Amino acid sequence: VTDQGKAAIVEGRSGSVIGIDGWSSGVHTWEVAVESLELKRGAFWWAVVGVSLDGVPCEGPGSFHIKGRTFGHRLDADPDLCFSLGVAQGKPFKIKSTMARIRLSLDNKAGTLTVSDVLAPSSSLTIRIPMSKRLYPWAHLVGKGTSIRFIGEGEHRSAN
């Protein structure tokens, strides 16, 4: 994902994906489409979407929870397995359909990242993030038959 809005697709079991340009100021809104072939309790898949303070990909299967370096929301069909990475206002929400659209809004000045379900706007949470020189859009995905597609900044307006 770049500031120019190029889409990236992540499928299967993947480590973290981090944009190469990132943002250091302003308000930025983008969406991710999360698709899973299995949407039931006990299905082995999950995704984390958010921002990272690091400009290089994280390596390793557990790297999504680098404390103090990544901020976002862990999405799952099982509500007991959904949680925020970082201090949040609002309740973590579960994925309700096999094709979910998640909107992320980063406000660098306010130091917040808001994550919401496009189809259920009342399902949202706001995460406090530290001030940083640069923040990068970021995701982590685990699961067979699961994919995430980043939709570049502003593209979601015409996609609805």
HEC profile for 34-65?
A: EEECCCCCCCCEEEEEEEECCCCCCCCCCHHH
Element (DSSP H or E) covering residue 158: helix 156-159
| Distance in angstroms (rounded) separating the CA atoms of residues 15 and 3 | 21
Considering only 31-40, 103-112, 149-158, which range has the smallest mean pLDDT?
149-158
CATH class of segment(s) 9-147+155-159: mainly beta
Which residue type is seen at 45?
W
The domain spans of the chain are 9-147+155-159
Q: Report which of residues 39 and 92 the model is more confident about.
A: 92
| Distance in angstroms (rounded) separating the CA atoms of residues 4 and 19 | 11
Q: Are strands 146-151 and 27-36 parallel, antiparallel or unpaired?
A: antiparallel
In terms of residues, how long is the chain?
160
| Distance in angstroms (rounded) separating the CA atoms of residues 101 and 95 | 9
Q: What percent of the chain has pLDDT over 70?
A: 65
Say if CB 74 and CB 85 are below 8 A apart.
yes
Read off the pLDDT of residues 2-24 as tens digits, 9 standing for 90 and up.
Answer: 334 444 455 445 556 556 678 88
> Looking at the predicted structure, is the pLDDT value of residue 149 above 50?
yes
